[in-house]
Amino acid sequence: MKISVIITLKKDVLDPQGKVIHQTLDGMGFNDVNEVRQGKYFEIDTKETDNDKAKAKVEEMCKKLLANLVIENYKIIDPK
Amino acid sequence: MKSSVITFPGSNCDRDMDVALKKFGFKNKMVWHADAELPKSDLVVLPGGFSYGDYLRCGSMASKSKIMHSVINFANSGGMVMGICNGFQILVETGLVPGVLLRNKYLEFICKNVFVKINDKKNKYFKNVNNDVLEFHIAHNEGNYFCTNDQLKEIEDNNQIAINYCDENGKIEDQFNPNGSIKNIAGIFNKEKNVLGMMPHPERMIDASLSGEDGSLFFKNLINNLK
């Protein structure tokens, strides 16, 4: 089963990379962008076949390694 | 005095640290990250570099490596653990010291000498250092110290800030902040002050003809404080 995780920076954490991307988009003529925040995307292929168990394991992975909860939030996407 | 320097895949300041520690009298051992046991040590150093290629987040993978269980136990039982640069990033990822290190504010890799002011001398790292201001070297891309407001309050209440970026006279102002760190923080302790994480490299300031000698002051003093 494949489970996806999206990690984003918390709202009040400075994201200089997102800012630069925003500026570049501006320069390219995409003038209606309010803000860009950069994040990370993971696809985790697990042997677990039970949906809930797999999600719980991935949540543990997020807390222990994939995200740093001081600055980041994680979102687990339901497996299809 | 015995010290151990941990080498992770991608560490590149481990041998500099080895040279510095030995120069000032430590009997140093290099310890591989995949080892389980720490040799008997009075000081453990996590050196600078790019452990695990800085993948995921700087220091995140190294903080989970095998030797770190022993390092964390050593720190929790009062052992002296110092993380420099990438070593500081590893320490924050273990949770031994609070906060995180973000990308530098202006997205530049910064490599230059800086001045830092010692904020607290009631600890084994800086006790008896005569100077209040030291000139060290920094070389990093992710040295922008960040923590939550609650953490900052706790850090300040417990006097856990070790050093702040400043000018040569010790003035701590925004213009002397190279990377955007909260409160110009360059180094921080755990509550008990046996664990120190800092971005500057004292091991690069141990030779009068090559650099400067403020690192020598630091190491000479450190070994005396540990005796």
Domains of chain A by start residue, with CATH: 2-77 (3.30.1280.10)
What is the separation of C-alpha A59 from the centre of its chain, rounded to a whole number of angstroms? 13
A positions 49-68 inside 8 Å of B (CB): 64-66, 68
What are the contacts of B172-178 at 24+ separation with CB within 8 A?
B172/B117, B176/B114, B176/B115, B178/B104, B178/B110, B178/B112, B178/B114, B178/B138, B178/B143
Q: What's the whole-number mean pLDDT along residues A27-55?
A: 94
User: What SS3 state is found at B3?
Assistant: strand
* Structure token digits, residue B52: 């695990």
Determine the average pLDDT of the residues in A4-19: 92
Dump the DSSP string for B168-183: TT----GGG-SS--GG
- Find tokens 């991935």 and name the residue: A58
For B102, which of A20, A66, A71 is closest by C-beta distance?
A: A71
Residues ≥6 apart with Cβ < 8 Å to A42 = A4, A5, A6, A7, A66
The size of the A-B interface in CB pairs under 8 A is 33
Residue B135 among the catalytic residues: no
Q: Determine which of A13, A65, A72 to mutate to test the interface with B (most B C-beta atoms within 10 Å).
A: A65
The model's pTM? 0.93
**Which CATH topology does B2-226 take?**
Rossmann fold (3.40.50)
**Could B103 and A68 be called an inter-chain contact, meaning their C-beta atoms sit closer than 8 Å?**
no
Nearest CB to A65: which of B60, B144, B148? B60
Rounded Cα distance, B205 and B211, in Å? 5
Question: Which DSSP category does B55 fall into?
Answer: -
ipTM of the complex: 0.81
Q: Tens of pLDDT along B88-147?
A: 999 999 999 999 999 999 989 999 999 999 999 999 999 999 999 999 999 999 999 999
Give catalytic status of residue B85 as yes or no: yes
Residue A80, min C-alpha distance to chain B (Å): 26
Q: B6 is written with which tokens? A: 């941990």
The angle subtended at Cα B206 by Cα B100 and Cα B134, nearest 5°, is 55
d(CA A16, nearest CA chain B) in Å:
6
Whether the predicted pLDDT of A80 surpasses 70? no
Type of residue numbered B184 = N
Give the pairing of strands B133-140 and B110-118.
Answer: antiparallel
| Closest-CA residue to B180 (of B107, B126, B123) | B107
The residues spanned by each domain of chain B are 2-226
Q: Which amino acid is at B112?
A: K
Chain B residues whose CB is inside 8 A of the A16 CB are: 103-107
- What pLDDT was estimated at residue A16? 86
For residue B210, what pLDDT is reported? 87
The answer to whether the CB atoms of B146 and A70 lie below 8 A apart is yes
Half-sphere CA count of B113, side-chain side, radius 13 A:
16
Q: Does A21 touch chain B (CB under 8 A)?
A: no
- CB contacts, 8 Å: B107 with chain A: 16-17, 20
Which chain A residues touch B99 with a CB distance below 8 Å? Answer: 70
- Residue B144 has a pLDDT of 97
Task: Return the bridge partners of B189, or none.
Answer: B196
Beta strand B43-46 pairing with B80-84: parallel
For residues B184 and B176, give the distance between their C-alpha atoms in angstroms, rounded to a whole number. Answer: 8
From A72, which residue of chain B is nearest by alpha-carbon distance?
A: B100
Positions in chain B short of pLDDT 70: none
Residue B33 designated active-site: no
A42 in helix, strand or coil? strand
Q: Which amino acid is at B182?
A: I
